[in-house]
Structure 1
Amino acid sequence: MTELLPVAVLGARGRMGAEAVRAVDAAADLELVAALGSSDPLDTLVSAGARVVVDLTVPEATADNVAYAVEHGMHAVVGTTGWTAERLERLEALLAGSAGTGVLIAPNFALGSVLATAFAATAARYFESVEIIELHHPDKADAPSGTAVRTAQLVARARAAADVPAGPDATRDQLDGARGARVDGVPVHSVRLRGLTAHQEVLLGSPGEQLTIRHDSFDRASFMPGVLLGIRSVAQHPGLTVGLDGYLDLQTGGTGR
């Protein structure tokens, strides 16, 4: 009989967490050993025998949760935002002392979104201009979204490697924020609107043509194949991986920083 992989979900009472609990519970090769809310003690992870911890909590808690997992030899799959460069550096230092332990921090678990970001990074080398529009429900706490930030970073990296100059922009007078936020030089615009779930467009333009790469998540169930992929793969990727693309055979890559 095949041994089941014991998995714990943190943030199990949230919308994403509840969806992850259902997905893990339904997977034939996984065993849900703990589903913890914000007030539940992390010691339960040890007593339950979890080998992989899925963190879908809040930015204020995620760094401590992941540190606890790593310190106790558990792999972590993280979908929570709030991972600054400083926090990532501390996590990398912690992982350096925990050989064989893997952590995946994924701005987006929807496989279609990961692919759209990879396609955008590939296409960005061939277009004069690129801008990003991300659209989410109004309960989302951060702007731009982690997915948009990740997309802009990979787009900027690809353009820099190809020596593509900044896109033309003759704007001289503007209201504050009218041209969006700049992430590594790429304009990113955020929309928060009731009725939306998670959506992103990358607009690429050159004289006489435009390419739009869009991904839409209409339900949180769209994130679960990526969550399950992360759970099943994290042990084979020791250290820190940022972006689910690091686990896929994509040209952009996502391993490390």
Structure 2
Amino acid sequence: MSKVRVVVAGASGKMGSEALRMIEKQEDLELVACIDLHNDGKKVKEIEGLPNFDALFYNDIDRCFSNEEADVLIDLTSPEVGYRHTKKAIENGIRPVVGTTGFTKEQITELSSLAKKQKTGAVIAPNFAMGAVLMMQFSKLAAKYFPDVEIIEKHHDQKLDAPSGTAVKTAELIQEGRKKKVQGHPDEQETIDGARGADFDGMRIHSVRLPGLVAHQEVIFAGPGENLTIQHDSFHRESFMSGIKFAIDHVVNMDELVYGLENLMLDKE
């Protein structure tokens, strides 16, 4: 069986380095290159704390794709860079698996059209922790019966986007099953702007950013005399790797873009 040739973008970051360690453990994956702003021209094994790979670092995606043959791009960068990388990968017939959040709906639509035109599979997932995906699906189900809901998401203080992609995706799924409702007292006033969080279709999303956190979310539903809380916690970035591997296994046989890991998980069932 031939190995899937992988490029990792953002490889020297915390998520990227964890992806390298995941690849190291997989017999069916081969790391062929890394893309990063730093370490251009160096081998992975030359960087302290990274696995013993001979693959090179590139600081330019075009040069990387010109010099290396790849099947899959794992992108764990930032929204702006991730969008550009995803588009470049699809144009080059390389299947992107993207864990970067913050893409706009317009960008998702554009990339979906491009993937369909190129007949190239792609996976963009706000969260690759499989437990988090299930948390979102359970929330969608609960919203049919509990339209009063608030979301509290908590991440490390280096996260750039707020609310998180997972919180937005959760709210979108809840919106599908929830009877439209504006929550709170009609005369409610914020004595400090933003105290009630972001308003998404009448429900509220709250973002917490503190050092020491990784990725955590509570979805709190309420009805007369009862509360239902659905909670997921990622205590280590290793929690995202099983979902990334799951996405790689599927994307190599796909010819279109899928947004949200749940679509692959549900299809499997």
Q: TM-score, normalised by structure 1?
A: 0.90
Equivalent pair of 2:148/2:203 in contact (CA under 8 Å): no
Equivalent pair of 1:52/1:74 in contact (CA under 8 Å): yes
Q: Which has the higher contact order (CA 8 A, sep 6+)?
A: 1
Question: Of 190, 205, 223, which aligns to 1:188?
Answer: 205
Q: Which amino acid aligns with 2:208?
A: V
Cα offset, 1:167, TM superposition: 5.5
Cα offset, 1:46, TM superposition: 4.2
| Distance across 2 between alignment mates of 1:165 and 1:79 | 30
**1:233-248 map, 5 Å:** 233-248=250-265
Identity level (%): 46
Structure 1: which 4+ aligned runs deviate by more than 4 Å?
none
| Distance across 1 between alignment mates of 2:134 and 2:66 | 35
Change (3 A) 1:45 1:21: farther
Question: Of 174, 181, 185, which aligns to 1:166?
Answer: 181
Cα offset, 1:34, TM superposition: 1.2
Q: Which amino acid aligns with 2:113?
A: A
| Distance across 2 between alignment mates of 1:59 and 1:9 | 16
Question: Of 128, 141, 159, which aligns to 1:109?
Answer: 128
| Distance across 2 between alignment mates of 1:187 and 1:110 | 23
Q: Which amino acid aligns with 2:206?
A: H
Deviations 1:53-111 (A, max 9, x none): 11111222112211111111111000112311221222123223202x11111100101
User: Could you tell me which residue of structure 1 aligns to residue 20 of structure 2?
Assistant: 21
| Distance across 2 between alignment mates of 1:38 and 1:90 | 26
Cα offset, 1:195, TM superposition: 1.9
| Distance across 2 between alignment mates of 1:201 and 1:222 | 17
Deviations 1:130-173 (A, max 9, x none): 110001111111110110000001001111xxxx2416411522
Where 1:77 maps in the other structure, the secondary structure is strand
Q: Which amino acid aligns with 2:33?
A: A
Where 1:123 maps in the other structure, the secondary structure is helix
Equivalent pair of 1:138/1:193 in contact (CA under 8 Å): yes
Equivalent pair of 1:130/1:167 in contact (CA under 8 Å): no
Where 2:250 maps in the other structure, the secondary structure is helix
